[in-house]
Amino acid sequence: LPGGKILFEDRTLWDFSSNNYLGLAQHPKVLEAAARSAREGGGSGASRLVSGNSPLYIELEERIAELKRTESALVFSSGYAANLGLFGALIDKEDLILCDRLNHASLIDAARLCGAQLRVYPHLDLERLQHRLKRNAGRRRAWVVSDGVFSMDGDLAPLPDMLEICERYDAILIIDDAHGFGVLGERGGGSLEYWGLSHDSMIVVGTLSKAAGALGGYVAGPRVLTDTLINRARSLIYSTALPPAALGAALCSVQMIPEMKEERKHLGKLSRLLCSRDEDPAIPIVPIMLGESKATLSAASFLREQGYFVAAIRPPTVPKGTARLRISLSAVHPLDAVESLASLCKTLATLPKSDQ
């Protein structure tokens, strides 16, 4: 619903569960663009490589490349499909993939499916990452894979340090910036803009389903990379193109994102308020760690009674013993709603356990 709300069992609650960080999913301009594009058809009819491609795709890719400051971008039907397509096209069983333990499931699945040797390193443990790369030196082609902003914890991967390590050991860095795009950086370009890094140094994947409030995934980088993917990424080649409405919505959002500085500022204010800290950057994902699943379900149900819809995240989505409420902030949330949520969160530890 507009204004950061959600309809749940006939009640309208504050929605603190969606990844609609800038409120673009319900923005009137985005809705209008989607409706206009929908007149071209409910679906696209075929894969992009057959007859499903359209000028909307081309313009969307140009706008993403412009925002990311890359030579080109390639749009897939989702972020999940982008990861599957990218890994399958570039990586094979002779290669080594080093994956952060808390990476998103789509990265883990993509790594498993491409058949490479997969090694998982403890969350953000760059010593261990370095150690593994050193042991591998010269044996296999190595890829280091990480979320840019971790989806369940809201912390940042230290990209400059990771890049330095990758360069030292001749590994290629792949960053999934699903939660940084639109939110981080002055223009909302994402993690690389925030860290002041160039896209030439790594491969970046992202999604249009979170801050951009639409649907679709992308890989941004040099033309040689996107050309290779057009010819080799199976999730692109063998899947029907996105419907015009989704492309129209995504295009409108991507055009709006660079200008949404005030929204990013407000989001930062909300995040700092909820976390009671002054640090930058302010990320819209705030986990409230409760440990056990029962306590987390009980806390989520208590918050719903108070008018707040917050997701209870439990294993296997997160490691055992780290069940949590995952609060997702949006620029459309008013300050007082977040103030009330912050004070409710302070009482959560004292709640009785639910028997669900």
Q: So which residues are the catalytic ones?
A: 151, 179, 210
176 counts as binding ligand PLP under rule CB under 6 A? yes
Tokens 């005030």 — which residue?
Answer: 262
Q: Is residue 209 involved in binding ligand PLP (CB under 6 A)?
A: yes
| Shortest distance in whole angstroms from residue 80 CB to ligand PLP | 4
Could you give the C-alpha distances from 76 to 18, 109, 221, 284, in angstroms and in order? 21, 17, 14, 25
Q: For the CA atoms of 349, 354, 355, 356, what is the dihedral angle to 10 degrees?
A: -120
Residue with tokens 């971790």: 150
Strands across the sheet containing 11-15: 5-8, 11-15, 308-309
| 85 touching ligand PLP, by CB under 6 A | no
| Min CB(335)–ligand PLP separation in Å | 26
Does 80 bind ligand PLP (CB under 6 A)? Our answer is yes
Q: Does 207 bind ligand PLP (CB under 6 A)?
A: yes
Long-range own/partner contacts, residues 127-134 (CB < 8 A, 24 or more apart) = 129/98, 129/162, 129/165, 130/165, 130/168, 130/169, 132/98, 133/98, 133/165, 133/166, 133/168, 133/169, 133/171, 134/169
Our finding on whether 104 is near ligand PLP (CB under 6 A) is yes
Nearer to ligand PLP, 202 or 337 (CB): 202
Determine if 253 is a binding residue for ligand PLP (CB under 6 A). Answer: no
Beta carbon of residue 209, minimum distance to ligand PLP (angstroms, whole number)? 4
Half-sphere exposure of 319 (CA within 13 A, CB side): 7
Which tokens belong to 122?
A: 């403890």
Measured from the CB atom, is 83 or 136 closer to ligand PLP? 83
Binding residues for ligand PLP restricted to 122-151, rule: CB under 6 A: 147, 151
Which one, 81 or 332, has the nearer CB to ligand PLP? 81
**Complete DSSP assignment for 140-169:** S-EEEEEESB-TTT-PBP-HHHHHHHHHHT
In the bound state, the residue with its beta carbon closest to ligand PLP is: 79
Is residue 79 near ligand PLP by the rule CB under 6 A? yes
Q: Is the dihedral of CA 65, 70, 74, 79 positive or negative?
A: negative
- Scanning 24-32, 45-53, 172-180, 334-342 for contacts with ligand PLP by CB under 6 A, the matching segment is 172-180
217 is a site residue for ligand PLP (CB under 6 A): yes
Nearer to ligand PLP, 61 or 298 (CB): 61
- Alpha-carbon distance of 235 to 51, in angstroms, equals 16
Among 56, 110, 178, 225, binds ligand PLP (CB under 6 A): 178
Q: Does 106 bind ligand PLP (CB under 6 A)?
A: yes
Q: Which is nearer to ligand PLP, 18 or 354 (CB)?
A: 18
Q: How far is Cα 114 from Cα 90, in angstroms, rounded to an integer?
A: 9
The distance of closest approach from Cβ of residue 152 to ligand PLP in the complex, given in angstroms and rounded to an integer, is: 8
Burial class (CB in 10 A: 0-12, 13-18, 19+), 114: buried
Total residues at the site for ligand PLP (CB under 6 A)?
A: 13
Count CB atoms within 10 A of the CB of residue 228: 16
Q: Which residues bind ligand PLP (CB under 6 A)?
A: 78-80, 104, 106, 147, 151, 176, 178-179, 207, 209, 217
